[in-house]
Amino acid sequence: MPPQPPDVFHTLPNDEPDALGQPVIWGLDAVELHQRFWAARSVQVVHRGTPAPLTRRAELYLLVDSPHLVLFRLQRAINTLLWRRDDLLLIRLHSQRRQTYCERLDTNEQGQFLHFQRIYCQQHTRVARLAITAHRTLAKRWQHADSPMLGWRDLRLAVPHHQRTTISLPGQLKTAHDPHEQQQFIFSLAQQWRRPDRTIPRAKQHTDGVWTDIDTPLHDHVRCVGPVWIGAGQPMQPTTSIVGPAALWDVTNVDADTPTRWRWPTQPGPVFRPLNSTPRPPALGKRITKRAFDIAFALAALLMVLPLFPLIMLAIWLEDGRPFFFAHMRETLGGREFPCLKFRSMRNDAEQIKAQLAAVNQVDGPQFFMENDPRVTKVGRFLRKTHLDELPQLLNVLVGQMSVVGPRPSPHAENQYCPAWREARLSIRPGITGLWQVMRTRREGEDFQEWIRYDLEYVDRMSWSLDIWIIHRTIRHLLGFK
């Protein structure tokens, strides 16, 4: 008897919703998945007319009308809020169907391929009004509005014109009342959401891009090409192949965690910190004790590391000559500039060729970073890896230009990216180490936002216990511990 061909499952989401008339995966329908997706980014979706509790764990509230399911890039919205310090950001979301047709894959009852069906449709654009705010009071106003028109009018009356901005963003817009559009929305989530387990405890990663229900183990011979979401109770034979992108609905009922039971992520995706006022400078007593600690720590550290200075200077001179030190102008208290000292780790012509390397910058925002920067010398690579290049900054601490712990010292050009952020971080001295240095993740597209978040968090929470914790984390990092 000839061998049976393998089962090839859908390359599009399933066409049959569950018995209740709507697709469900991991016990969640499209509306609940929509809430969990934005919660993973520390954003709570607030539907008008839906009396859901507003959590204080959210950094932002996304105000949408009840039928809408939306997807868009959040970064531009966050940057606008940080730059302008607005209370309310109004968004015109436009979703355009670019193709004049779509292809549907038809299968039999066993999920095996039958044929493709091409469905022609007219090109059209859909527009929806959304809003983003960091204020729970505004989110409550929207939530209790009797109609969308009254809700938008109420928000405009509550927020002065100079405290709100309107922008237009491209994105995806689906209707929650249409089962077919719910399926399309879940299909889009499977393509875009890399870590659904952050807010969906039932989601378990099988391989890269392939997520299953925790009670639905896959046989080792099941072949999946992600992105693929596999719901609870899906029958998978060893010969099954699933070609993504795909989303296979639940075939058995599961007890999904309710929104009041699952936890918000401790490390959100896009980082946002509402800036409502200019930060107050630390109390006089706290400034005096912090300065005394800086002097004592810098003197003790210099006595320990001074024997290394001539050895490092000799190594620099043998490879690339003088100078031994590099002084880059940075800003300290109130925006005053000072020369931030380091042992020179780059070639003498490093600044001249930096412009040629701008296209390969590996971080967002105003910083420049390359993992294998060709400007760095051999000695410089060792100094940077061991952080010995930063030892001369102890002299900056002694003369009062820097602190042991504080925001990252940055030049004038970088500090112009956000006025409120600049005012906060320049209200105290920059540090050799800081909260950002020990907490950063270097996730693509989020490095600059993490820098803003942790600098502002340090200014708000500055204390002896936090300084000691940061120094402890820094020492562990220098010794190779995580």
Contact 49, 142 (CB under 8 A): no
Contact 169, 72 (CB under 8 A): yes
Contacts of 369 (CB under 8 A, 6+ apart): 361, 362, 363, 447
Question: Looking at the structure, do residues 239 and 300 belong to the same domain, yes or no?
Answer: no
For the whole model, what pTM was predicted?
A: 0.57
Question: Looking at the structure, do residues 366 and 313 belong to the same domain, yes or no?
Answer: yes
Q: Is residue 365 part of a domain?
A: yes
Question: Looking at the structure, do residues 224 and 334 belong to the same domain, yes or no?
Answer: no
Question: Looking at the structure, do residues 309 and 365 belong to the same domain, yes or no?
Answer: yes
Question: Looking at the structure, do residues 289 and 221 belong to the same domain, yes or no?
Answer: no
For the cut 50, the answer to whether the pLDDT of residue 64 exceeds it is: yes
Q: Is residue 263 part of a domain?
A: no
The token pair at 156 is: 């405009």
Question: Looking at the structure, do residues 93 and 196 belong to the same domain, yes or no?
Answer: yes
For the cut 70, the answer to whether the pLDDT of residue 361 exceeds it is: no
Q: List the single range of 8-12, 176-180, 193-197, 472-476 with lowest mean pLDDT.
A: 8-12
Contact 11, 244 (CB under 8 A): yes
**Which among 248, 270, 296 is the end of a domain?**
248
pLDDT tens track for 190-233: 888 888 988 888 888 888 888 888 887 777 677 777 788 888 88
pLDDT tens track for 97-128: 544 445 555 666 665 656 656 555 544 557 88
For the cut 60, the answer to whether the pLDDT of residue 440 exceeds it is: yes
> What is the residue range of 161's domain?
8-248
Contact 343, 325 (CB under 8 A): yes
Helix, strand or coil, per DSSP, at residue 78: helix
For the cut 90, the answer to whether the pLDDT of residue 394 exceeds it is: yes
Task: Report pLDDT for 357.
Answer: 58
Task: Report pLDDT for 306.
Answer: 93
For the cut 90, the answer to whether the pLDDT of residue 400 exceeds it is: yes
Question: Looking at the structure, do residues 12 and 130 belong to the same domain, yes or no?
Answer: yes
Q: Is residue 215 part of a domain?
A: yes
pLDDT tens track for 294-328: 999 999 999 999 999 999 999 999 988 889 999 98
Sheet holding 164-170, edge to edge: 43-47, 60-64, 125-133, 88-96, 164-170
Band of the pLDDT at 133, cuts 50, 70, 90? very high
Number of domains into which the chain is organized? 2
Q: Is residue 393 part of a domain?
A: yes
Q: List the single range of 309-318, 354-363, 447-456 with lowest mean pLDDT.
A: 354-363
Pairing of strands 172-175, 68-71: antiparallel
The Cα–Cα gap between 38 and 36 comes to 6
Find the mean pLDDT for residues 448-467. 83
Helix, strand, coil % over all residues of the chain, rounded to 5: 35, 20, 45
Q: Is residue 186 part of a domain?
A: yes
For the cut 70, the answer to whether the pLDDT of residue 273 exceeds it is: no
pLDDT tens track for 250-259: 888 877 765 5
Band of the pLDDT at 371, cuts 50, 70, 90? low
| Surface-to-core class of residue 296, CB atoms within 10 Å of its CB (0-12 exposed, 13-18 middle, 19+ buried) | exposed
Question: Looking at the structure, do residues 65 and 193 belong to the same domain, yes or no?
Answer: yes
Q: List the single range of 34-43, 90-99, 282-291, 303-312 with lowest mean pLDDT.
A: 90-99
The Cα–Cα gap between 289 and 403 comes to 12
Question: Looking at the structure, do residues 239 and 189 belong to the same domain, yes or no?
Answer: yes
Task: Report pLDDT for 265.
Answer: 60
Task: Report pLDDT for 410.
Answer: 87
Q: Is residue 400 part of a domain?
A: yes
| 375 DSSP 8-state letter | T
Q: What are phi and psi of 454, to 5 degrees?
A: -75, -30
For the cut 70, the answer to whether the pLDDT of residue 129 exceeds it is: yes
Q: Is residue 103 part of a domain?
A: yes
**Which among 228, 248, 268 is the end of a domain?**
248
Band of the pLDDT at 277, cuts 50, 70, 90? very low
Q: Is residue 158 part of a domain?
A: yes
Question: Looking at the structure, do residues 304 and 242 belong to the same domain, yes or no?
Answer: no
| Surface-to-core class of residue 334, CB atoms within 10 Å of its CB (0-12 exposed, 13-18 middle, 19+ buried) | exposed
Find the mean pLDDT for residues 73-84. 76
Helix (H) or strand (E) holding 313: helix 308-320
